[in-house]
Structure 1
Amino acid sequence: MPELPEVEVTKRGIENYLTGHAITEVYFDNKSLREPFSPDLMNLEGSKVKSVTRRAKYIVIETNKGYLLIHLGMTGHLRVLPKDSPLANHDHFYLSTDDDKSIIYNDIRRFGMVLYYPLTSSPYDNFPLKELGPEPFSSEFNVEYLLLKLSKLKKSIKQAIMDNAIVVGIGNIYASEILFRCRINPKRIANSITKSEAQAIIENARKILSESIEKGGTTIRDFSGADGKLGYFVQNLYVYGHEGEQCKVCGTKIEKIVQGQRSTFYCPCCQK
């Protein structure tokens, strides 16, 4: 699933093709994503795009006729092509602009979302955005805040930092990598985390997410940016996907466990 870096890379890849441009055509097929396409999406035809932003793993396109909220789901991606380019398999939605470009949404498994919100109902004031925690790069995500949230939790620290109500955008890949760099065992109970460990989680979360954005994200199976390029942060992963391989730091074999129905990778020597 695309996580914060992949969604940020996608947002940056489409914003210059949309911001300040008029939407001349909206297309969607009859195959539902996580939620069916709304006929109200057609209201965006003739609108002018004011901004393209990211909140958590969502892309928000603001126009003078309403908002478009996009979630990439498990296998979704956006790409920019010349207008009237032939559609590929699993292309379910596109916007065309006055710049003769089309921004096309492709999703093999159809777990993503493309939702319309009228000007009178901003997506930021509605579910799912309204219930989200702070961005990892924001000042609200600080030591005092994190310790307060963790002090109430008896679940594992890995599951805690993946909770979007605590901090957004940290998915399975980056949670494993963040805890490895912090030398924190992912099985630790969240309320046992110390102040210095909380500070390390914040610093390493920001560092790893920034590094991944700079490298175009992480491509494990399906992700590609709006320009079609694959993300190559996968080359910088220390533990995720490396079960049975030697730790790059100490040489101990990386182990894999399941937490909350998700795979967790860690070094039992470095992360005690």
Structure 2
Amino acid sequence: MPELPEVQTTATSLQPLLNQTVEKVSVFQPKLRWAVPDDLVSLIDYQLVDIERRAKYLILTFKRKGGAAQKKLLIHLGMSGSLQQHSVGFDKRKHDHVILTFNDGKKLTQLHYHDPRRFGMLLWLDDYEDKLITHLGVEPLSEDFSADYLYHHIHNRKKPIERPIKSVIMAQEIVVGVGNIYATESLFLSKIHPLTPAHLIRHEQLTTLVAHIRQVLQTSIEKGGSTLKDFTVADGQTGYFQQTLLVYGHKGGDCPSCGTTIENVKINQRASTFCPTCQPLITQKKP
């Protein structure tokens, strides 16, 4: 599914639509994960004035030209969704469920929401912010995400968190957007076994882990994200971060560091590849 880098890449690719006015709204399939709002057509004559990313969500702010009224559209790409820009006249595809037509005063551009599995959503932020946004943790590329922050969440409670560290860094209420690919790669670079109980990881290891999470996510954003199935961004381009993956998806291959056979374990029903030599499992605190 599109993760933080793919969503950030999508947000960046939408920048050419800023300050353009919505001329037409076409909803062909309203039954997504949650139903598309019946009044989505009310976006007509509103300008797109801001594009934000929060976790794996896009927030598009529209404002009526010359007025104070604004609307915020919350978009999630689900498992297979994408937003793609096309010229008017581009043939609608089977899974193009919503099309917004923008006018920049000279030409029209259509933004197609494409989602074969229909697990994504287009909703009004005001209706769903409390349910979907307010509980989210910090952004991994922000200054708020640090080893101190992680250590506090793991230890500042009656009983420290003992579940696997991979589960902790993928918990959206702690830190957002560290999906399976990026958690797997970051743990490998940090030489931490994904099953290591979180409370056994030293502060200095968390410092290394935070640095590698930032590095992996930033590198993926620079490379346009990962194209592991049919993900494309608004200009139709695909990412190529997957070409640099070290262990994710390489079960049975050779570790790029030591040559040991890469193994796989399931954590919360997600495949997690690792090198048993570079990432030894710790089950108790070292004396």
Fold match (TM-score > 0.5): yes
| CA offsets 1:68-125 (integer angstroms, 9 cap, x no match) | 11101110011110124221110001211113101111011111111124xxx386x5
Q: What pairs with 1:8-23 in structure 2 (closer than 5 Å)?
A: 8-17=8-17, 19-23=18-22
Alpha-carbon distance in structure 2 between the residues aligned to 1:228 and 1:97:
17
Whether the 8 Å CA contact 2:5–2:221 is kept in 1: the answer is yes
Whether the 8 Å CA contact 1:67–1:122 is kept in 2: the answer is no
Alpha-carbon distance in structure 2 between the residues aligned to 1:262 and 1:185:
15
Q: Of the two, which has the highest radius of gyration?
A: 2
Match of 1:264 among 272, 278, 283: 272
Q: What pairs with 1:67-106 in structure 2 (closer than 5 Å)?
A: 67-99=72-104, 100-106=108-114
Match for residue 130 of structure 1? 134
Q: What pairs with 1:43-192 in structure 2 (closer than 5 Å)?
A: 43-64=42-63, 65-99=70-104, 100-117=108-125, 121=126, 125-151=129-155, 152-192=160-200
Q: What SS does the aligned partner of 2:172 have?
A: coil
Alpha-carbon distance in structure 2 between the residues aligned to 1:25 and 1:95:
6
Match for residue 2 of structure 2? 2
Q: What SS does the aligned partner of 2:134 have?
A: helix
Q: Which moved more, 1:92-101 or 1:161-170?
A: 92-101
Alpha-carbon distance in structure 2 between the residues aligned to 1:82 and 1:221:
24
Alpha-carbon distance in structure 2 between the residues aligned to 1:77 and 1:87:
14
**AA of the residue aligned to 2:16:** N
Match for residue 245 of structure 2? 237
Q: Following TM superposition, by how much is the alpha carbon of 1:260 offset from its aligned partner in structure 2, in angstroms? A: 0.4
**AA of the residue aligned to 1:133:** G
Q: What SS does the aligned partner of 1:268 have?
A: coil
Instruction: Please list every run of at least 4 consecutive aligned residues from structure 1 whose deviation after the TM superposition is greater than 3 angstroms.
Output: none
**AA of the residue aligned to 1:180:** F
Q: What SS does the aligned partner of 1:92 have?
A: strand
RMSD of aligned residue pairs (Cα, Å): 1.3
TM-score between both structures, scaled by the size of structure 2: 0.90
Q: What SS does the aligned partner of 2:153 have?
A: helix
Whether the 8 Å CA contact 2:61–2:72 is kept in 1: the answer is yes
Alpha-carbon distance in structure 2 between the residues aligned to 1:155 and 1:53:
32
Q: Which moved more, 1:220-229 or 1:172-181?
A: 220-229
**AA of the residue aligned to 1:244:** G
Q: Which moved more, 1:167-176 or 1:150-159?
A: 150-159
Alpha-carbon distance in structure 2 between the residues aligned to 1:172 and 1:90:
26
Alpha-carbon distance in structure 2 between the residues aligned to 1:115 and 1:15:
20
Q: What SS does the aligned partner of 1:48 have?
A: strand
Alpha-carbon distance in structure 1 between the residues aligned to 2:130 and 2:90:
35
Residue 68 to residue 156, structure 1, CA distance change in 2 (3 Å) = same
Alpha-carbon distance in structure 1 between the residues aligned to 2:9 and 2:213:
17
**AA of the residue aligned to 1:13:** S
**AA of the residue aligned to 2:3:** E
Q: Which moved more, 1:81-90 or 1:205-214?
A: 81-90
**AA of the residue aligned to 1:77:** S
Whether the 8 Å CA contact 1:179–1:201 is kept in 2: the answer is yes
Q: Which moved more, 1:77-86 or 1:100-109?
A: 77-86
Q: Following TM superposition, by how much is the alpha carbon of 1:149 offset from its aligned partner in structure 2, in angstroms? A: 1.0
